[in-house]
Amino acid sequence: MKLVHAKKSRRGIVIVLVAMLLIPLMGMMAFSIDLGYAVEVRAELVNATDAAALAGVQQLYSPYRQWLLATGSTKTHLYNNAITNAKATATAVANANRAGGATVQLVDGDVDVGYTDGSGKYHSGNAGDIPDNAFPNTVIVTARRDNTSLPNSNGEVSLFFGPVFGKGSLPLTASATAVAYEGVITNFNAASGSYGPILPVAVDQNEWTDFYKNGVNSAYQDPNAPSGTAWLNIYPGGTGESMDGLLSLNGSKAASQQYYAGTNGWIQAGAASTDITNLKSSGDLPLPTDGSGQKWASGPGLKDSLLTDFQALIVIENFQALVTDVPSVRYLPLFNPNSDGTTTGGNGTYQITYFVPVIVVFAQGNGQANMDIAVTAGLGDPVTDPSVVVSNVVPMGTSPVPPQFTVPVTGKITQ
């Protein structure tokens, strides 16, 4: 007996299955497109907050240095102005960015200028939590695409396919925290072709401290300084006549004045990579982080034939340029006059303790007794010279090292 199987027609089944699957597939595609767009918009918000926070924290460096030395109402004025300027700058930078096609507008409270202490704890300025006798060192910026404060919050991000599924928009926020830092210069890089811009005259750290704190009223104010302008007289200086000379850069006595002179000499060009290497080989670098310093050999007596080399560093015509004239910045070695490592005489040594940024502003006179070389402090802007090594970096205002010996370091995004 022959069995016969009945064949059922399946035409159209695949079309039905495809039609059924298209719905979730299109939903997944729509979700992917909307999600990708949301990720892109949030990345734009992140970029805006990062830029805004860094720009805002930059406004805290110079006021901090001024605030340290101010008193009374001036101190309060500097404090309040720093916060105002930091907020205004952060807001302006945020407004210059776009996220999802809309300008990034900040609402009240979206910029918080506060203080990060040595343990990393944040104290909000908006909440009034900054400790007494502390200066703001942190800027937090939050940018929004939401409906919390229309129209300034720009509204939620509109989705392309979300309305089909009952979700027409999505709220997005991003936040960035930037902290100002400071540290101590302990070393210089010796990469081929780079120079360590160390000024070859060591100065008593007590004289520097007096000048830093008293400015124009310092006992070491240069007599040729214009009225109301603080200049530190670095030559003649030192501890007694025998210390009025140069500082050797090669770990021993420099052979002659020519070692320092000319466009390739140590005064104008800075320390060559071989000089830095020699200092390290001699144990003069890096400086110990506890501030005890190393014994650096003194160089030959400073003759007025080198005045033109110091004058070559004075590349400014007016003092407004001091703020931006980065190439003129040099690093002044400070020594401890009370250390056993500081000795006088023809083979004298300096116990170097710190390096501080300065700008040469004056070099005149004839003969060793009548020469006058002066500098002004360059402590306002962060150190960006790649040849300079800064150690013990901490949030600005929290270093255990006295502020006259620390240098500002570029602010960083911490979160």
Q: Are residues 325 and 213 in the same domain?
A: yes
Tens-digit pLDDT profile for residues 320-360? 444 444 447 899 999 888 888 888 766 788 888 999 999 99
413 domain-assigned: no
Report the chain's mean pLDDT, rounded to a whole number: 83
Q: Are residues 63 and 175 in the same domain?
A: yes
Q: Are residues 163 and 245 in the same domain?
A: no
- The top-scoring range by mean pLDDT among 149-158, 171-180, 195-204 is 171-180
Q: Are residues 363 and 288 in the same domain?
A: yes
Alpha carbons 368 and 391: distance in angstroms, whole number: 37
Q: Are residues 254 and 161 in the same domain?
A: no
CA atoms within 13 A on the CB side of 390: 21
User: Residue 396's pLDDT band (boundaries 50, 70, 90)?
Assistant: very high
Q: Per DSSP, what are the bridge partners of residue 377?
A: 358
102 domain-assigned: yes
Q: Are residues 176 and 35 in the same domain?
A: yes
Q: Encode 307-332: b = buried (16+ Cβ within 10 Å), e = exposed.
A: bebbbbbeeeeeeeebeeeeebbbbb
Q: Residue 290: which domain range?
A: 190-386
pTM of the entire predicted model: 0.84
Q: Is the pLDDT of residue 376 over 60?
A: yes
Average pLDDT score over residue span 395-399 = 97
Q: Are residues 262 and 125 in the same domain?
A: no
Q: How many structural domains are present in the chain?
A: 2
Give yes or no for a contact between 112 and 139, defined as CB atoms under 8 angstroms apart: yes
In this predicted structure, what is the pLDDT of residue 156? 80
User: Residue 406's pLDDT band (boundaries 50, 70, 90)?
Assistant: very high
396 domain-assigned: no
End position of a domain, from candidates 180, 200, 216: 180
Closest residue by Cα to residue 308 from 264, 265, 262: 262
Give yes or no for a contact between 359 and 324, defined as CB atoms under 8 angstroms apart: no
Distinct helix (H) and strand (E) counts, the chain: 8, 17
Alpha carbons 321 and 391: distance in angstroms, whole number: 28
pLDDT-wise least confident of 17-21, 125-129, 272-276: 17-21
CA atoms within 13 A on the CB side of 363: 19
**Sign of dihedral through CA atoms 319, 325, 328, 331?**
positive
13 domain-assigned: no
Q: Are residues 342 and 196 in the same domain?
A: yes
370 domain-assigned: yes
128 domain-assigned: yes
Rg value, the chain, Cα: 31
306 domain-assigned: yes
Q: Are residues 219 and 143 in the same domain?
A: no
Count of CB atoms situated within 10 Å of the CB of 71? 7
Tens-digit pLDDT profile for residues 240-271? 444 567 888 766 677 678 888 888 888 888 88
Q: State phi, psi for 184 to the nearest 5 degrees.
A: -125, 135
End position of a domain, from candidates 155, 180, 205: 180
End position of a domain, from candidates 152, 180, 208: 180
Where do we find the tokens 């070393």? 187
Q: Are residues 345 and 196 in the same domain?
A: yes
Q: Are residues 170 and 202 in the same domain?
A: no
314 domain-assigned: yes
Percentage of the chain modeled with pLDDT above 90: 43
Alpha carbons 166 and 252: distance in angstroms, whole number: 80
Q: Are residues 206 and 132 in the same domain?
A: no
